[in-house]
Amino acid sequence: MNPTEWRTYLVTQESRSAGRETAAVVEAALSGGVDAVQLREKGRPARERYELGRRLRDLTADAGVPLIVNDRIDLAAAVDADGVHLGQSDLPAEIARGRLGDEAIVGVSASTVPEARAAAEAGADYLGVGAVYRTGTKDVPDETNGVGPERVAAIADAVDLPVVGIGGIDAGNAGAVTAAGAAGVAVVSAVTAAADPRAAAAELREVVGDGR
């Protein structure tokens, strides 16, 4: 479960899953070899996210893959997730650590070197860096929507934490992200919207493995 070993990291979003339920997409992606799953599903009621989180907890536990919850420390605790991923506007990493314990995986989004250094000082276990390429998957300020592999390289050089590139990444450009110093890549649509999520996850894992 060490983030330094993650190659492919699936972030869920049912609205970009071609009409399929998130649990079905996650199950297929796990069979394709994803190394981590993040429950995102922003906009869904907390009760629905909790129920989905319990289902994903079972799937990921069976596969031996960590489950991370986006933003919500309380939800991560409620579904017995392995950790939480926090944005710059969320509660600080040290709060998550205090609530979830020393064994929890705490990830933090960073798009600049100062943000990355602050996250490292706060005790983050890994960084989600991006958006590497321009993306419409979520609201991203223009100044950080498409920071490029160059920013990944700058952040990877600045901190002693594994970096996961995110934003607009697919099998066609993932190699450039790992070549810049990322341990792995996080994706939404490249897997969730694929005709065959299992095959898409397997292809992405192969590309990232070749680039590491």
Angle CA(60)–CA(65)–CA(69) in degrees, nearest 5?
Answer: 70
Distance (Å, whole) CA 185 – CA 182 = 7
Q: Which residues participate in the annotated binding site? A: 38-42, 70-71, 90, 109, 135-138, 168, 188-189
Q: Which residues participate in the annotated binding site for Mg(2+)? A: 71, 90
Question: Which residue bears the tokens 């926090």?
Answer: 86
Question: How does pLDDT run across 129-166, given as a tens digit for each residue?
Answer: 999 998 876 667 767 778 999 999 999 999 999 999 99
Query: What is residue 188's DSSP assignment?
Result: S
Query: pTM of whole model > 0.75?
Result: yes
Q: Are 127 and 161 in contact (CB under 8 A)?
A: yes
The length of the chain is 212
- Active-site positions? 40, 109, 138
Tell me which CATH homologous superfamily contains domain 3-211: Aldolase class I (3.20.20.70)
Question: Which residue bears the tokens 């899953």?
Answer: 17
Question: How does pLDDT run across 86-108, given as a tens digit for each residue?
Answer: 999 999 999 999 999 999 999 99
Position 63 scores a pLDDT of 98
Query: What is residue 17's DSSP assignment?
Result: S
Distance of CA 17 to the CA centre of its chain: 16
**Per-residue pLDDT band at 19 (split at 50, 70, 90):** very high
Distance (Å, whole) CA 2 – CA 84 = 14
Q: Which of 143, 138, 162, 137 is nearest to 152 (CA)?
A: 162
Question: How does pLDDT run across 40-65, given as a tens digit for each residue?
Answer: 998 899 999 999 999 999 999 999 99
Position 139 scores a pLDDT of 64
Position 138 scores a pLDDT of 60
Q: Where are the domains of the chain?
A: 3-211
The amino acid at 204: L
